[in-house]
Amino acid sequence: MAGSIDRVSQAARDAGLAIEIRRMGESTRTAQDAANQCGCAVGQIVKSLIFEGETSGRLVLFLVAGDRQLDLGKAAALAGEKLKRADPRRIRDETGFAIGGVSPIGHKVAIPAYADRTLLAHDLVWAAAGAHDAVFSAQPGALIAAAGATAQDLAS
Ligand code: 5CA
């Protein structure tokens, strides 16, 4: 688990994103858990959702605010194909993170990413840092850039 968190710090350093990873000691597995632990609004939590192209099998990452739902139609239009949830085991193998701790950055393989633009409404957002109790905060624009994502209308 330490290795996963280290990968997040290294990816942030590589991207020039200054972050401080916090181990909360309590679960931050869900957006609501994370908001409770961070003392922030659930909309400030970044969900890192990994989907798989039904045709190509390629993984795609969507960064969505904790108070919004990914609109699968909009997501599929961006990906250029129908999408399904990726298998948890594949997520672990290819991102290096288990569900509930999937970070927007630091994946073992490069994954194309899109971010919901409502995240940009906040001064600060919080995202998973590679473990079930680890989070970091960042300015949303800088985080989206570090993830190599483009801001889009993704949610409903
Ligand atoms: N640490 C928190 C807040 S930063 C977190 O990781 N939240 S999350 O939303 O990004 O991760 C949980 C998400 O994983 C759920 O919203 C859900 O979309 C996804 N998920 C849960 N179970 C599965 C599953 N069996 N297969 C694929 N995805 C799943």
24, 135 Cβ separation under 8 angstroms? yes
What pLDDT is stored for residue 1 in this prediction?
65
CATH C-level class of 2-152: alpha beta
Query: What's phi and psi for 38, nearest 5 deg?
Result: -85, -15
For residue 88, the ligand 1 atom closest to its alpha carbon is 26
Per-residue tokens: 109: 């393989």
138, 154 Cβ separation under 8 angstroms? no
- 50 CA distance to ligand 1 middle (Å): 8
- What is each CA distance from 99 to 14, 31, 49, 80, 131, in whole angstroms? 24, 12, 9, 25, 9
What pLDDT is stored for residue 156 in this prediction?
84
Instruction: Give DSSP secondary structure letters for 111-135.
Output: --EEEEGGGGGSS-EEEE-SSTTEE
Q: Which residues are CB-neighbours of 7 under 8 A, at least 6 positions away?
A: 96, 103, 106, 108, 130
For residue 46, the ligand 1 atom closest to its alpha carbon is 4
29, 131 Cβ separation under 8 angstroms? no
For residue 70, the ligand 1 atom closest to its alpha carbon is 18
Residue nearest to atom 8 of ligand 1 (CA): 47
Q: Which residues are CB-neighbours of 1 under 8 A, at least 6 positions away?
A: 130, 131
Pocket test for ligand 1, best of 30, 32, 84 (most atoms within 8 A of CB): 30
Which bin fits 130, alpha (ψ -120 to 50), beta or left (φ > 0)? left
- 49 CA distance to ligand 1 middle (Å): 6
What pLDDT is stored for residue 59 in this prediction?
98
pTM above 0.95, yes or no: yes
User: Could you read off the pLDDT tens digit of each residue along the chain, which spans 156 residues?
Assistant: 679 999 999 999 999 999 989 999 999 999 999 999 999 999 999 999 999 999 999 999 999 999 999 999 999 999 999 999 999 999 999 999 999 999 999 999 999 999 999 999 999 999 999 999 999 999 999 999 999 999 999 998
* Domain boundaries along the sequence of the chain: 2-152
Residues with C-beta less than 6 Å from any ligand 1 atom:
28-31, 34, 45-49, 85, 88, 99-102, 127-128
